[in-house]
Chain A
Amino acid sequence: MSFLAGLLLLPLLTAGLLYVVPDHRWVGGIAAGGSLATLAAGLAVVVRVFGGGPWRAGFFYVDALGAFMVGCIVGVAALANLYSHGYFHRSLGDGSLSLQRFRGYHLWFQVFVASMLLVVTVANLGVMWAAMEATTLASAFLVGFSGSQGALEASWKYIVICTVGITLALFGVILTYYASFHLRGPGVPSLDWLTLRDEAGELNPGLLRLGFIFILVGFGTKVGLAPMHTWLPDAHSQAPSPVSGLLSGVLLPTALYGVLRFHLLLVKDLGPAYSSHLLLLFGLVSMGVAVPFILLQGELKRLLAYSSLEHMGVVTFAVGLGTRLAFYGAALQLLAHALAKSLLFFCAGNIMEKYGTQKLPKIAGLVGTLPWTGPIFLLMVLAVAGMPPFGLFLSELTILRAGFAGGAAMVTVIFLFLLAAVFAGLAFYAGRVALGKAGSNVPRGEPVRWFPYLSLAPLLALLFLGLGIPGPLTAGLSQVAAVLGGVTP
């Protein structure tokens, strides 16, 4: 059995162990141990692929793009899993959450992580599709975990809208498979990524083009691209905060990864024009749709959710630009997004615990009431808005440079305006909730005592990304950009 299969089996084994564990008090320990083991295995895959090139092992194929996604997933999953213990600490203590349900939470959590890892490591695009649907199914219970009417509504919308999207994407997969039956040259029909990539120049262009529309609409639903994004703010705002962090930080990029694989086939077969223009369009529309909801927003986690929608728009736009510099910016944006957005949702969890609400008008004076979460929240909101010296400033600047250098000045100007509008909205709300004056009934103190230690790693990483990216990381991101540029080592 290959090491890659082991990477997937770790979370599944953890889930199995959680299922059979005789004493429910062990649940937290097993889940944390499983997530840390998965983190270690994932990082080993990252080191191996970035050091030694693409890794083909039977059923699996991991290149720099896949390994990059593996790194993001295992990292954010480990953070979210550890944070879950702080997030549910009070409800476990006062008995409002039974250990049995806590076990169910961690069980689905591990299956969810395993399904995301399968999406980014499997070689067969059909299996990738099936894994993508599995991510929806595994996370639906997590979204509805609180059991409130709002959570029920959010999870129903989530599962129905995303399943419809994914079903349409399957039609795209079928058409792509059918396209491989109509090669212009010799070859074998297949859904294997390597075979398709090598035959891409020979695939039937009409079928591939039609298939891509379904892929873009289908997987795009799950990325949260407008106008298929309607499930996104509901699911993100109703899910428990660690799950919101996971959905936003890595699930949306995982779905985007699915779109990118098919995009690469199209670029090779038809040249960059067709699918790149579609990506530019959907990227800008998604950013544009996010703007009014960010400027006028009443709920904390919905604000963050729309910011994620905007970030996915930014990355989609960057890939659509189609130059190496833009790809580099897109990879950097994804990495910084994963770190900043998951951390922000954890902060939001602390804030909701403190204030007992997520209504923005009722939250003020965070810096005073939450001595650690408050300032971090302020910094992170400004960071996702694109303020220096954090990683997202650098990535958005890189994408802007790429846009102007690549001769796409018109769309880049629109892109710039949208970024500015989002910045204004986020900075306004950040200032209001972080500074302001807190009500007298909110005592000072952190709800999760060890949160500062947990938040330190992503915080420092983001600063490093903005101030000066260390050499090996630059090389790694360039490798991801090379894969996005269709360069095959």
Chain B
Amino acid sequence: MVNLVGSLSVLMLLCALSLVALRRYNSSIVAVSLQSLLLAVATALVAHAMGNREGYLAAILTLAVKAVAIPFILHWVKGRTDSGGGPPLKELSPGWALLVAGLVVILAYQSASPVTALGGVLIRASFPQAMSILLLGLFILIVRRSALLQIIGLLVMENGLYLSALTATGGMPVVVEMGMFLDLLVGVLIMGVFSSRIVGAFRSLDTDRLHKLKG
């Protein structure tokens, strides 16, 4: 189980790295959905190994919310831009972005050591990846200009966090997880509505156009 969850977490990290470089909305949505799917499998594996029934519920919710419902919302947002979107945004080139992302991963592995030193095999096999995914999500959110990709950055952060909770504590108490799923679903829905309003008002998903308020 430990090796399997470790491998899944590495695959999730690869999804996050690919999201740093991907340009097209469609492939970005696929990558983040794939990451969520891997997370759902990892959750089910940990639940099985620990004999924790609530863990299966969490796995099903991860699948339903993060791998099905949210990609659906993201596609809806993307659909809004096809009518009003402009030319693709000028962003950090994929090469440079990946170089910085590599440094972020090294930093994450370094900073994870105080936590992994305490834990068992599972945490040593997966926690550094979880930290990396969390920080990569933050990195995506900071460097990407498109509102849609910023939402995806947030999802990557959330996936990294969820993985860290899973490997460190076997998952949060069930009532907390319910709150997390509800917040995430409603949050993405609201951000989707706002993105669609941004397209309506600025004819683009480019958040760099939101720069009027200062001082």
Contact = CB atoms under 8 A, between A and B. Distances in A.
Interface of A: 124, 126-127, 129-131, 133-134, 136-137, 140-141, 144, 147, 149-150, 152-157, 159-160, 163-164, 167, 170-171, 173-175, 177-178, 181-182, 189-191, 204, 206-207, 210, 233-234, 237-238, 293, 296-299, 302
Contact of A302 (B154, B164, B211, B215): B215
Contacts of A153: 210-213
A204 B173 CA distance: 19
Interface residues of B, number: 40
Given A130-B183, A182-B118, A210-B114, 19 more contacts: A124-B173, A126-B176, A127-B179, A130-B178, A130-B179, A131-B179, A137-B186, A149-B201, A153-B210, A156-B194, A159-B187, A170-B161, A175-B115, A175-B168, A206-B114, A207-B118, A233-B213, A297-B215, A298-B215
Interface of B: 114-115, 118, 134, 138, 141, 147, 150, 154, 157-158, 161, 164-165, 168-169, 172-173, 175-176, 178-180, 182-183, 186-187, 190-191, 194, 197-198, 201-202, 207, 210-213, 215
Q: When A and B form their complex, which 3 residue pairs have the shortest distance between CB atoms, in order from nearest?
A: A130-B179, A126-B176, A153-B210
B56 to A, nearest CB: 20
A159 B157 CA distance: 15
Given A137-B187, A155-B194, A159-B194, A150 B213 contact: yes
A130 B176 contact: yes
Of B154, B183, B197, B213, chain A has the most CB atoms within 10 Å of the CB of B213
A189 B114 contact: no
Contacts of B182: 130, 134
Of A134, A140, A170, chain B has the most CB atoms within 10 Å of the CB of A170
A150 B212 contact: yes
B176 A129 contact: yes
Given A152-B210, A156-B147, A299 B198 contact: no
A178 B170 CA distance: 10
Given A153-B210, A191-B176, A160 B150 contact: yes
A170 B163 CA distance: 12
B179 A126 contact: yes
A191 B161 CA distance: 17
Contacts of B197: 144, 147, 152
A302 B215 CA distance: 8
B108 to A, nearest CB: 12
B194 A174 contact: no
B175 A167 contact: no
Contacts of B154: 160, 163-164, 167
Contacts of B202: 149
B107 to A, nearest CB: 15
A182 B186 CA distance: 34
Contact of A126 (B175, B210, B213): B175
B117 to A, nearest CB: 9
Given A129-B179, A191-B173, A234-B213, A174 B161 contact: yes
Contacts of A159: 187, 190-191, 194
